């Protein structure tokens, strides 16, 4: 979609962040639904005296949670209900969702990651009206957002944002071993990683049961060699292939030659800590490492005593024999069916996801979380953001969804939730033959897909 306000780089010219958000809010305003509530400047009678509980992860950018807490009283005033956020570790979300659905009680709205809405769809309120509204209001969704939260024509949850994953790496350490640019191929990455590991600066990659960084490596690595979980209709498991075996063999060599072999037990925070403490040279991650180093540059220094942020660059997963693919994590909010106030919950989501409120949260995220729609690529924030962060601007457009080559499904979510692809690589790196690890994983998929 062409926008007359964009310059040649797709950047909005002459529009400040504040004008962008204020103008966005005005365009989206109409005197119906939640907009009518806001225009009337009084809370709706049906919501008064009620409480709305929202469960989310603890964001890797703490300022994002602070911004939501700041917005909560504003939402409470607008909706006439007490809006309360609860934040827990991302790895604890799925157990909480399961427990809430089984007991029929819990938060009114729960944040969903990946394609979880497909797995929990029987317990979710249909939010098709909100899904259609947001897409039209904000420039259309990325395919990743739709795949994660939409089942055919029905929206299972309302897309909120996407966290892009790229390699964060120490530029000076790569230069020292003769690699002055980011590797173009996976084999180049292994070669430079071998040199770095010999100098005491391995690459860090988790193969543990953790929600983000492990699958964000295991799935694209499989795709990069031409492997897939199932065929295009999603009926036949095709994981046990020559291509997948080659991906696993690469990982065995990469792990031994280039990686910190303690990564079997890492969660999504372990590689952040290892990188910022100078233990690893590179790791696949969201932009949280860079942002933490920037915001804490008075304390986070390199071995020369300089702010580490000056030495951090980002690069994509390099090309495999079948090309390069990424997996960026989609986030959404689901209204739980057991909740007593589904209308209030949906009104709140329309308020929270509207351009005005989301725009404030988006700026605080500083590129770590981007929008679920393409509208946010036009934000003036991208004109002033640090150069190493610009890779995240349109990253969401280059992502495949878990369950490839099949359509999004609850079965694909179950495979993810059991960490079968991650364990396939972990088993191989712990000594299982590549062919046997792939066969094991394919058999596990067969139990799920039937």
pLDDT in tens, 205-243: 999 999 999 999 999 999 999 999 999 999 999 999 999
Checking DSSP bridges between strand 282-285 and strand 158-163, what pairing results, if any?
Answer: unpaired
Closest CA to 336 of 325, 346, 323: 346
Q: How many CB atoms lie within 10 A of CB 448?
A: 18
Kindly state the helix (H) or strand (E) to which residue 98 belongs, with its residue range.
helix 93-103
Q: Please tell me the distance from the alpha carbon of residue 221 to that of residue 180, in angstroms, as a whole number.
A: 24
Identify whether the C-beta of residue 155 lies closer than 8 Å to the C-beta of residue 134: no
Q: Which two tokens stand for residue 434?
A: 């590549």
pLDDT score for 397: 85
pLDDT score for 43: 54
Q: How many CB atoms lie within 10 A of CB 98?
A: 14
Q: Which DSSP state fits 332?
A: E
Identify whether the C-beta of residue 142 lies closer than 8 Å to the C-beta of residue 397: yes
Closest CA to 377 of 407, 351, 398: 398
pLDDT score for 227: 98
Identify whether the C-beta of residue 129 lies closer than 8 Å to the C-beta of residue 347: no
Crossing angle for the helix pair 62-79 and 33-40, to the nearest 10 degrees: 70
Q: For the chain, how many helices (H) and strands (E)?
A: 19, 12
Identify whether the C-beta of residue 142 lies closer than 8 Å to the C-beta of residue 372: yes
Q: Which DSSP state fits 170?
A: E
Crossing angle for the helix pair 434-449 and 420-429, to the nearest 10 degrees: 160
pLDDT score for 2: 33
Q: Is the bond preceding 405 in cis, omega lying within 30 degrees of 0? A: yes
Length, in residues, of the chain: 450
Q: Which DSSP state fits 407?
A: -
Identify whether the C-beta of residue 155 lies closer than 8 Å to the C-beta of residue 118: no
Residue tagged 């403490």 (tokens): 277
Q: How many CB atoms lie within 10 A of CB 421?
A: 26
In sequence order, what DSSP letters do the residues of 350-387 get, joined into one string? HHHHSHHHHHHHHHHHTTSEEESBGGGGG-THHHHS-G
Helix (H, G, I), strand (E, B) or coil at 320: strand
Give every residue of the chain whose pLDDT is below 70, as ranges. 1-49
pLDDT score for 26: 45
Q: Please tell me the distance from the alpha carbon of residue 426 to that of residue 423, in angstroms, as a whole number.
A: 5
Cα distances from 17 to residues 13, 115, 378, in angstroms, run 11, 31, 10
pLDDT score for 395: 87
Is the dihedral angle over the CA atoms 436, 437, 442, 445 positive or is it negative? positive
Q: Please tell me the distance from the alpha carbon of residue 135 to that of residue 145, in angstroms, as a whole number.
A: 10
Q: Please tell me the distance from the alpha carbon of residue 317 to that of residue 383, in angstroms, as a whole number.
A: 25
Residue tagged 């988006």 (tokens): 362
pLDDT in tens, 104-163: 999 999 999 999 999 999 999 999 999 999 999 999 999 999 999 999 999 999 999 999
> What phi and psi, each to the nearest 5 degrees, are found at residue 67?
-65, -40
pLDDT score for 17: 54
Q: Please tell me the distance from the alpha carbon of residue 120 to that of residue 299, in angstroms, as a whole number.
A: 43
Radius of gyration (C-alpha) of the chain in whole angstroms: 22
């Amino acid at each position: 979609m062409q926008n007359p306000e964009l310059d040649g780089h797709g950047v909005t010219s002459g529009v400040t962040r504040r004008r962008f958000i204020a103008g966005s809010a005005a365009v989206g305003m109409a005197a119906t639904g939640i907009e009518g509530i806001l225009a009337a400047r009084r809370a709706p009678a049906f919501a008064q005296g009620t409480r709305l509980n929202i469960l989310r992860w603890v964001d890797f950018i703490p300022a994002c949670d602070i911004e939501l807490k700041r917005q909560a009283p504003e939402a409470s005033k607008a909706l006439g209900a007490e809006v309360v956020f609860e934040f827990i570790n991302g790895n604890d979300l799925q157990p909480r969702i399961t427990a809430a659905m089984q007991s029929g009680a819990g938060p009114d709205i729960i944040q969903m990651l990946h394609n979880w809405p497909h797995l929990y769809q029987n317990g979710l309120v249909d939010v098709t009206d909100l899904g259609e509204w947001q897409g039209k209001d904000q420039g259309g969704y990325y395919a990743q957002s739709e795949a994660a939260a939409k089942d055919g024509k029905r929206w299972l949850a309302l897309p909120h944002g996407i966290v892009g994953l790229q390699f964060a790496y120490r530029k000076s350490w790569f230069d020292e071993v003769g690699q002055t640019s980011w590797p173009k191929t996976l084999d180049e990455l292994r070669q430079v990683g071998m040199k770095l590991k010999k100098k005491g600066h391995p690459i860090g990659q988790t193969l543990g049961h953790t929600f983000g960084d492990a699958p964000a490596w295991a799935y694209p690595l499989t795709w990069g060699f031409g492997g897939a979980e199932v065929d295009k209709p999603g009926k036949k498991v095709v994981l046990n292939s020559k291509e997948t075996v080659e991906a696993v063999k690469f990982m065995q060599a990469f792990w031994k030659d280039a990686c910190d072999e303690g990564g079997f037990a890492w969660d999504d925070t372990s590689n952040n800590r290892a990188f910022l403490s100078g233990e690893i040279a590179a790791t696949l991650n969201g932009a949280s490492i860079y942002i933490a180093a920037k915001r804490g540059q008075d304390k986070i220094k390199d071995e020369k005593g300089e702010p580490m942020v000056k030495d951090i660059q980002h690069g994509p997963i390099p090309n495999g024999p079948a090309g390069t693919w990424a997996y960026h994590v989609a986030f959404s909010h689901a209204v739980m069916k057991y909740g007593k106030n589904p209308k209030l919950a949906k009104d709140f989501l329309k308020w929270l996801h509207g351009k005005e409120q989301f725009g404030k949260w988006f700026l605080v995220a500083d590129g770590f979380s981007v929008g679920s729609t393409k509208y946010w690529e036009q934000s003036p924030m991208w004109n002033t953001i640090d150069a190493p962060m610009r890779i995240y601007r349109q990253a969401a457009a280059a992502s495949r969804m878990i369950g490839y080559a099949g359509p999004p499904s609850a079965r694909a979510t179950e495979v993810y939730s059991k960490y079968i692809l991650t364990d396939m690589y972990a088993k191989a790196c712990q000594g299982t033959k590549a062919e046997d690890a792939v066969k094991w994983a394919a058999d596990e998929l067969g139990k799920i897909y039937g």
